[in-house]
Structure 1
Amino acid sequence: MGNYQIIATAAMGLEALVAKEVRSLGYDCEVENGKVTYTGDETAIARSNLWLRTADRIKIKVGEFKAFTFDELFEKTKALPWEEFLPEDAEFPVIGKSVKSKLFSVSDCQAIVKKAVVERLKKHYKRSTWFEETGALYRIEVALLKDVATITIDTSGQGLHKRGYRIDQGEAPLKETLAAALVMLTNWKADSPFIDPFCGSGTIPIEAAMIGQNIAPGFNREFVSEGWKWISPTIWDAARNEAEDLANYDQPLDITGSDIDHRMVKIAQENAFEAGFADIIQFKQMQVRDISTSKEYGVIVGNPPYGERLGDKKAVEQMYKEMGQAFSKLDTWSIYIMTSNEGFEQLYGKPATKKRKLFNGFIRTDLYQYWGKRPPRQSN
């Protein structure tokens, strides 16, 4: 088995959560802006893809170096051991990005990296002709930041938020990775009730159910690196068997999702069925002002409309007020609401216990946290 430098990429604000997940898999890691780096073998690559709920992608770092000129980029890329990763028939497109760097033309950087990899592989495979690229996919990325080039190969394929259960969605769907993060940022435990009053296509309740039963989020999908010859199928089999063994399908859950739109409720039910939670998550059409429960010590997580479009603003502000009134009766519940509306606390009628900055796509939001009373301690 080899040892690789692995990068788990993360959305802004979620790096610490991704690092916590990486450490729970047993790997020491370092946290940087937008990524978590660690060292691991082929098993680590498989387990990271299967288990990381809040990461965007798992990449292998092939090399990192300073590059101020195109010549430097070419020679230093060519010096990397590409033959250790790419077989002779590999398909290897190159994508790129450049931030605050002298080499700012991304298309030129991509072309130069591609040419350098080809030259290295031609020498290794003793070829004078071009490569057909008919085999497995190895997507290479050259990322320049302040004149430092980081060159990686993507092991995930589709982003890790593509869990495979979403048949349909609304017009502003929440990414599965962010939905999982919202659940993980609460104090929810699988034996307490959970409500999402703005469930949309059901993403937050479904992610909560997967967390509650410890189901690996990548269990029902494939990854591009499963087609790579140097990661044996037995490694993937072992990683999936581990995930199967660790899943707790018998854990009872009390999870409810509601939405004002009956069409979204139907979509949420279909997605939950696809995810295997048809009998576990209850979905209902309901306005947030009508939410009430006699249950105690539960958690509410919501991603309501933000009122960013002018026509929606008044209706959304009224809904925030009604939400505050309805939830004021739930004094043992902890409530977590994500919105970009800076006047949320005034409208809701109560200052948050704590706020956390998050990004929903490119929208800067806050997660307003209202911590409920703690349950009385059980005496022995």
Structure 2
Amino acid sequence: MAKLELIATATFGLESVVKREIEALGFKIIKSEDAKITYIGDERAIVTSNIWLRCADRVLLKMGEFKADSFEELFQQTKALPWETWITEDAKFTVTGTSVKSKLHSVPACQSIVKKAIVEKLKETYACEQFAETGAEYTIKVTILKDRVTITIDTSGAGLHKRGYRVKDVAAPIKETLASALVQLSFWKAGRLLVDPFCGSGTIAIEAAMLARNIAPGLQRKFAAEQWSGIEETLWKEERKKAFSAIDYNAEVRITASDINPTAIKAAMANAEEAGVDDCISFSVQPVAEVKATEQYGIMIGNPPYGERIGEKEEIQKIYKDLRKFFTENPTWSLYLVTSDKEFEPQFRKEAADRRRKLYNGRIETCYYQYYGDKPPKKQL
């Protein structure tokens, strides 16, 4: 199999989580930078990455990287890349782009030149003037930063947060990729009780259950690269079969998820069933004030309402008060809470959070506040 450079794109703040996931899959990382991790793989790595990466946004195939100060340089160096390796004679492809701090600052012009260069290369390769564009689809991206051009092909298609289990939705849902990261950045693991008192459509609870059961996030969906002739269909079948056999149905998973909104709970239950983890999660309609600690050393992970609409401030302050009461009464519990509300920390308690992490939920800047409770005693052998 060919040695390829792949790029996993990530939301700002989640690079370290995505990097760990890539390393866990056994791939060698070349470079980790803002919002993307570059690593070495092959055709099978494209398949494995798409099926297994929980917190990445997309998996891109890197076609080339070069310096270009002029449109002529951009054209010639793009044309020199091995497009015929991946793009077939009947393919349909679109070119998207960005340009930051570069001489070639007109994005539409750059997109047009890149497309023209690829078409010219394919004309020479396939000895034809017209292309049917009835075959597989390819999305090519040209990214120019400080006159450095990177050209990639998107292997994922729809973003990796689209797992396929979200059959019902509620207002302002948290992205699946971010929800999985929140769980992975906490100390929670199978065997400990996890509580989400603001569960909405159930994303955090579902992602936690999928992690605990080792259910691959991309098992229920299709990817753009599945249509490519450059990746054998057998690879997709083999990797999906491996992923199914890797599911741990015996994991001890105890998750409770609640919300004050009955419609949200109905949606969450439907989504959990679609994800195949409805037997792992206990759902209920209740406010935060009614959440009870049924045992010690539990972990609470939550994404409370941000209170950006008029009249919600008092409601949010009541939630913070209820949380403060719960954690004062249960010092062995840990809290992991993501919010855009910069007033949360002083309203929750006098002591600062043990750790804070800046994250983005879509385009909203949030902070992930982490308060560590007492560590559970080590089990006697």
Q: With the length of structure 1 as denominator, give the TM-score of the two structures.
A: 0.97
Distance in 1 (CA, whole Å) between partners of 2:247 and 2:379 is 28
Give the distance between the partners of 1:256 and 1:113, measured in 2 at CA. Answer: 51
Q: Does 1:104 align with 2:112?
A: no
Q: Which residue of 1 aligns with 2:334?
A: 334
Query: In the TM superposition, what whole-angstrom CA distance separates every residue of 1:60-105 from its partner, at most 9, and x where no partner exists?
Result: 0001111222111111111111111111111111111112222222
In 1, distance between residues paired with 2:44 and 2:26? 12
Cα deviation for residue 180 of structure 1 reads 0.3
Q: Which residue does 2:22 correspond to in 1?
A: 22
Please state whether the residue corresponding to 2:66 is helix, strand or coil.
strand
Question: 2:262 — aligned with what?
Answer: 262
Q: Which amino acid counterpart does residue 233 of structure 1 have in structure 2?
A: E
The alpha carbon displacement at 1:341 in A equals 1.4
Which position in structure 2 is the counterpart of 1:82? 83
The 5 Å alignment of 1:324-363 reads 324-350=324-350, 351-363=352-364
Whole-Å separation in 1 of the counterparts to 2:280 and 2:368 = 26
Corresponding letter in the other structure for 2:15? E
State the partner residue of 1:40: 41
Q: Which amino acid aligns with 2:44?
A: T
Q: Give 1:320 shift.
A: 1.1
Q: Does 1:136 align with 2:128?
A: no
Report the Cα offset of residue 159 of structure 1: 0.6
Which residue is equivalent to 2:167?
167
| Contact preservation (8 Å) 1:168, 1:201 | yes
Letter in structure 2 aligned against 1:336: Y
SS in structure 2 opposite 1:171?
Answer: coil
Query: 1:62: which partner in 2?
Result: 63
8 Å CA contact 1:51, 1:216 repeated in 2:
yes
Cα distance, 1:309 vs structure 2: 2.9
Which segment drifts farther, 189-198 or 293-302? 293-302
- 1:137-166 alpha-carbon deviations (Å, 9 max, x no partner): 111111111111110001011110000000
| Cα deviation 1:282-312 (Å, max 9, x = unaligned) | 1111111211122122211000012223432
State yes or no: 1:226 paired with 2:232.
Answer: no
CA contact (8 A) 1:166 1:271 kept: yes
Whole-angstrom distance in 1 between the partners of 2:230 and 2:365: 41
Q: How many Å apart are 1:323 and its aligned residue?
A: 1.5
CA–CA distance in structure 1, aligned partners of residues 227 and 321 of structure 2: 52
Contact 2:201 2:268 in 1 (8 A): yes
> For 1:18 and 1:153, how far apart are their aligned partners in 2?
19
CA distance in structure 2 between the aligned counterparts of 1:203 and 1:284, rounded to whole angstroms: 15
**Cα distance in structure 2, aligned partners of 1:72 and 1:170:** 48
Query: Which residue in the other structure is 2:72 paired with?
Result: 71
Report Cα offsets for 1:232-288 as digits up to 9, x if no partner. 111111211221222102223111111111110111111111111222211111111
Q: Which residue of 1 aligns with 2:275?
A: 275
- 2:189 counterpart letter in structure 1: K
Name the residue aligned to 2:50: 49
What letter corresponds to residue 121 of structure 1 in structure 2? L
Equivalent pair of 2:10/2:55 in contact (CA under 8 Å)? yes
Match of 2:207 in 1: 207
Partner SS, residue 88 of structure 1 = coil
> What's the TM-score, normalizing by structure 2?
0.97
When the two chains are superposed, the root-mean-square deviation of aligned CA atoms in Å is 1.2
CA contact (8 A) 2:86 2:229 kept: no
Aligned residues: 379
The more displaced of 57-66 and 90-99 is 90-99
Q: How far is 1:223 from its partner?
A: 0.8
Instruction: Give me the whole-angstrom Cα distance separating, in 2, the residues matched to 1:375 and 1:326.
Output: 18
Contact 1:321 / 1:349 at 8 angstroms: preserved in 2? Answer: no
- Three-state SS of the structure 2 residue aligned to 1:62 is strand
Greater CA drift, 204-213 or 239-248: 239-248
Moved over 2 A (4+): 308-311, 377-380
Provide structure 2 residue ranges, at least 5 long, that are not aligned to the other structure. Answer: none
Structure 1 spans left out of the alignment, 5+ residues? none
Q: Corresponding residue for 2:307?
A: 307
- Inter-partner Cα distance in structure 1 for 2:156 and 2:242: 19
1:118 paired to 2:86: no
Q: Match of 1:379, as an amino acid?
A: Q
Deviates more, 1:97-106 or 1:253-262: 97-106
- The letter of the residue matching 1:104 is H
Structure 1 residue 107: Cα displacement: 1.3
CA offsets 1:309-364 (integer angstroms, 9 cap, x no match): 34322321232122211232222221100111122122112421111111111221
Equivalent-residue separation in structure 2 for 1:281 and 1:378 (angstroms): 25
Q: What SS does structure 2 have at the residue aligned with 1:165?
A: coil
Alpha-carbon distance between aligned partners in 2 of 1:330 and 1:177, rounded to the nearest angstrom: 30
**Residue 378 to residue 278, structure 1, CA distance change in 2 (3 Å):** closer
Secondary structure of the structure 2 residue equivalent to 1:92: strand
